[in-house]
Structure 1
Amino acid sequence: MAERGAHLTAGLSASAGRPSIFEVVAQDTLMSAVRPAAQHACKVLAESNPARYGFLWRWFDELYALLDLLLQRHYLSRTSASFSENFYGLKRIPLGGGRGLWRLANLGLPKTQYWRSLLVIIAVPYVKVKLDRLFARLREEDDYAIHLPESSWKRLYKAFLAAYPFVNMGWEGWFLIYRLLYVFGRSQIHSPLLRVAGVRLGNLTPADLQAFEQRSSSASGPLTSESVVGNLTSFLGKAVGGVAMSLSTGVSVGVFFLQFLEWWYSSENQETIKSLSSLPTPPPPVHLDRLTNEALPRLKTICPLCNKIRTNDTALATSGYVYCYRCAYSFVKRHQRCPVTGYPSELQHLVKLYSPEA
């Protein structure tokens, strides 16, 4: 069976300019492996110094999308491919270009396919991550939040929680159908996002590689009669190109590191990870003589947020401080951090305390 599968994929990839299913799937998963590693690095920085690096955790999705936009824009305009596609020696070819290899990859894509490709590469993953995170947060809040029985928000809330798993299943099934059609040679594209962009993937040809070398050699030559604007544009282009080449080289070295992270975060290492990545012990409260109006209250039964006797005592697991349930719930939901220490926190970190007298 394995021999027949290998023969099938080898035969299909032998067609002119048609990548194998392994190449297209590998380039799809490359950027999805980079994102968790970058997110974990931002989380470690935010936990080490919340005041200085906390914004990296709060605005990670937006910052990552911005950096990804700059990277993908450079590669689409210079190589007619995204970063991961160029890493695996692929390029994008317009669907209306016939069965030929269209034109050299260093000339870039037409404007229509260029902007469509940039949209689906950046916007679709960003929206998908936001929806997944919203669904996870609402599902966790469903056990704690209080909604009015007949409120319209509750009906919309319940409808979203009920429908999103089926929508997500249909989305993943849509991609699976395209990949199966690609494996059996019934389609030239392996992803519906490529259909939206109006392109298909093809292998880089020797002419493309020669054009890349000629372009890099001409760009490294001395400038003779260019204007100030031309010099600035050339300098920025070289800078972006240097960063992109550094990223491309770094990814080839970092593939092993990403595989190591995948093993490290496997189920058998969860206990070790929890012990190594646990938050540091928060500093003790300041001395009573040095308290100010914004410091911790003098009495242990006072909530640090409302400065009143606590009701429904609730501890924040990330720091250990105790608040009123309503105060802690509202603050953590709005700011995603501990009010006292600034450690990144979520609603699931709230722990209800029950006194023995209750």
Structure 2
Amino acid sequence: MMAEVGAHLSSNAAPEQPSIFEALAQESLMEAVKPALRHAVKVLAESNPSRYGFLWRCFDELYLLLDVLLQNHFLSHCSASFSENFYGLKRVSGHRRGQLGLSSMSHWRSLLLLCLVPYLRAKLDSLLARHRDEEDFSIRLGQSRWQRMYRAAVAAYPYVSSAWQALVFCQQLLFVFGVAKSHSPLLWLARVRLARLSAQDIRDMELSWESEQGPVGESLMHRTWHLVSQATRGLAMSLSTTLSLGVFFLQFLEWWYSSDNQSTMKTLTALPSPPPPVHLQPPNQSAAESELYLQTCPLCRRLRTNATVLSTSGFVFCYRCVYAYVKTHHRCPVTGYPSELQQLVKIYSPES
């Protein structure tokens, strides 16, 4: 009896309307792509910081550009995002009654909500993490009006995020019981809903692709626009094919680089810590000078205060010196390894 009720809830009344499981599965697909690409860029940046470090520092902006190209291609040719098309879904405007193709307004609203909202959310999460670090380490910002507004906005963000999650859950619950036509408030804001692709939709997409391969006008402008559109389409198709082939591999990467698995691997492959870089110490020093040098901050060249180690390299600095440097440059001052504020570890001596 319970299985029949569950099947009824997941199937919905309209045959073309997807189930809640299909809708949530297509959302989780793109959520798995970004962490995998981020880790690949991080490995590349750590292998050669001087050449590829900018990829790590500008990852969010580069991913936004990639996402815009990919989603715009699929919205234009498949009336769906990449993940929705992967699961055989399409976006339908209210006035088109299930036909393939979005209006110009629905297209741009969908593109804006698909790409810009995740980017802004990632930036807000980064600001929130930075604010928590500043609070944990008792770093007080200036008391200007802008700084007070910044602190108030960051403090209010967790409550706004919780309210948004509650709204999304309510929308999904209404979608399950057939009250709402879309499972996400973002789809409601875009004035579209999801539907399953039909055989006629697939034939229409194939005919549209074949017609676009035909000859274009003889004018130079038409030829130039045709070449640009073909290059953009080829890039988007290459990206979509690559993502489609690697989508199942992403689940393996997500497990492999999970915190639980990494802690197990570190335990199994743990090696002794390497000796300190003796060559950095000036030669011909007395014992007292050597001891003083070992307690000197590499940045300010003075006796360290509030000693803090950067876990990516192992060097010890004054906390305020290394905090300001890593916050600005996102790398180790000595080795150049990509670093973040979360990798600062304060050292507490027995005397403190």
TM-score range, shorter chain: 0.7 to 0.9
**What are the superposed Cα offsets for residues 55-84 of structure 1, whole Å, 9 maximum, x if unpaired?**
111111111011111111122122222111
- Matched with 2:166 is 173
1:332 to 326, 331, 335: 326
- Matched with 1:118 is 111
SS at match of 2:136: coil
The one-letter amino acid of 2:114's match is I
Identity of aligned residues (%): 55
SS at match of 1:201: strand
- Answering whether residue 234 of structure 2 is matched by residue 242 of structure 1, we say yes
Distance 1:343 1:277 in 2: 21
Distance 2:196 2:43 in 1: 39
- Matched with 1:84 is 83
- Matched with 2:176 is 183
Q: TM-score, normalised by structure 2?
A: 0.85
The one-letter amino acid of 1:89's match is G
Distance 1:158 1:224 in 2: 56
Residues 283, 199 of structure 1: alpha-carbon distance in 2 compared, 3 angstrom cutoff? farther
- Answering whether residue 232 of structure 2 is matched by residue 233 of structure 1, we say no
Q: How does 1:251-290 map to 2 (within 5 A)?
A: 251-266=243-258, 268-272=260-264, 274=266, 284=277
Distance 1:33 1:79 in 2: 22
SS at match of 1:134: helix
Query: How far apart are residue 311 of structure 1 and its match?
Result: 3.1
- Answering whether residue 311 of structure 2 is matched by residue 317 of structure 1, we say yes
Q: Is the 8 A contact 2:12 2:178 kept in 1?
A: no
Query: How far apart are residue 154 of structure 1 and its match?
Result: 7.9
Which residues of structure 2 form unaligned runs of 5+? 284-291
Which residues of structure 1 form unaligned runs of 5+? 291-297
Distance 1:282 1:9 in 2: 60
Q: Is the 8 A contact 2:311 2:344 kept in 1?
A: yes
Distance 2:190 2:350 in 1: 63
Which stretch of structure 1 is more off in the superposition, 3-12 or 51-60? 3-12
Residues 56, 150 of structure 1: alpha-carbon distance in 2 compared, 3 angstrom cutoff? closer
- Matched with 1:8 is 9
Which stretch of structure 1 is more off in the superposition, 155-164 or 317-326? 155-164
Distance 2:297 2:345 in 1: 15
The one-letter amino acid of 1:70's match is L
Q: Is the 8 A contact 1:147 1:154 kept in 2?
A: no
- Matched with 2:287 is none
Residues 243, 158 of structure 1: alpha-carbon distance in 2 compared, 3 angstrom cutoff? closer
Which stretch of structure 1 is more off in the superposition, 122-131 or 163-172? 163-172
**What are the superposed Cα offsets for residues 324-344 of structure 1, whole Å, 9 maximum, x if unpaired?**
222112111222211111112
Query: How far apart are residue 121 of structure 1 and its match?
Result: 0.8
**What are the superposed Cα offsets for residues 168-219 of structure 1, whole Å, 9 maximum, x if unpaired?**
1111111111111111111111111111111111222222211211222233
Distance 2:67 2:262 in 1: 30
Query: How far apart are residue 277 of structure 1 and its match?
Result: 11
Distance 2:270 2:35 in 1: 15
Q: Is the 8 A contact 1:139 1:161 kept in 2?
A: no
Q: Is the 8 A contact 2:310 2:345 kept in 1?
A: yes
Q: Is the 8 A contact 2:16 2:195 kept in 1?
A: yes
